Amino acid sequence: MSSLYDAVGGADTFSRLVAGFYAQVKTDDILGPMYPDDDWEGAEQRLLWFLTQYWGGPATYNEQRGAPMLRRRHFPFPIDRAAAIRWLELMKVSLDSIDEETIPPAYRHQMWDHMERVAAMLINREDPGTPPARAH
């Protein structure tokens, strides 16, 4: 049985997805400032490794970085609801730039569902203007 990674074209497709995403992030007013100017290539590589491994490709992420621990690795970055939504918006543009022949709707849906869950999971800051939580 082949993996989703193989079914959608493997390294080429995932490289296109990640490159399209980061091409937008570099000039984005919400996400861009979260990245150090001297590590764009590293950030892009790490996302590519993660997505590749998650969807059944080579386990390069684990080999190079260890277990993903996404919440822990993203905690230093101020990810509120607006940042999560923007991440999804930019990823959707990139995903939609890849034709349905390459990523058929069923696989696209699986990928998008995962992206939505991860974006929500990584929120680690309250939105501006949100009243502070009260102890019960």
4-121 classified as CATH 1.10.490.10: yes
pTM, full prediction: 0.89
Residue spans per domain, the chain: 4-121
Q: Is 42 exposed, middle or buried (0-12, 13-18, 19+ CB in 10 A)?
A: exposed
22-69 per-position pLDDT tens digit = 999 999 999 999 998 899 999 999 999 999 999 999 999 999 998 888
Calculate ∠ Cα 36-112-82, nearest 5°.
50
Q: Which of 110, 117, 99, 119 is nearest to 56 (CA)?
A: 110
